Structure formats: structure tokens, C-alpha cells
Amino acid sequence: MTTGRMTAGRKTCLCAAVFIVGALSSATAEPLPHSAEWLATHAAIYRLENRIAYLEADPAIDDGYKTPIITGARKDIRELRATLPPAHWRWASPCCYSRKPIHLR
């Protein structure tokens, strides 16, 4: 005869089922797809930023040699970022700018 209470075994099975469903749903979720052009542009920006970081961190390289290289790489990064489309973030909650403004007296 059941009295409306869950036994420890049933609670454990329920928790395990919820855990498995949650783990499987997040494991099967795919990331947002990006085009091949976006991936190539992103990889190029990453390589240029790493080159800049390497040049700035190496004290053995003369500043007169690395300054034009860093300046040119930063220019290339700005040009590459201009070719990327703007980011469209999907938030779970609405942005704070969409709510009514608060007026203090």
C-alpha cells in the first residue's frame, strides 16, 4: 500500500533519470554553425593577434623592427573584423535597455 511518499529507491531513480536526460540533451546540442569564410577570417585574426603578442613579449627584438610589423598586423585585424557580420546574441532574459526607464525624484 502506497501512502503517497516516495521511497529512497524511487527518488534515486527519478534523480538519475533527470540527470541522464539533461546530460544527453546538452551532449547532442550542436554549436551555432558558422560559414567557412567566418572560420577562416576568425583563424586569421587569431594568428595575427598571436604574432603581435609574440613580438611585444620578446625583448630580444628591436622596437624599430617590430613596430611597423605590429602596426600593420593591427591594421589587418581591423580590416578583417570589418568583413565579419555583427554579432547577434541570444539572451535568455531581455536586455536591460528594453525595460522602462527608472525615474528618481
Domain ranges of the chain: 35-84
Examine the pLDDT at 47 and tell me if it is beyond 70. Answer: yes
**How far is the C-alpha of 46 from the C-alpha of 77, rounded, in Å?**
9
Give the number of other CB atoms < 10 A from CB of residue 78. 10
pLDDT at 32: 59
Question: Which of 39 and 8 is assigned the larger pLDDT?
Answer: 39
* Mean pLDDT of the 50-71 span: 93
Q: Say if residue 39's pLDDT is above 80.
A: yes
Q: What is the CA radius of gyration of the chain?
A: 26
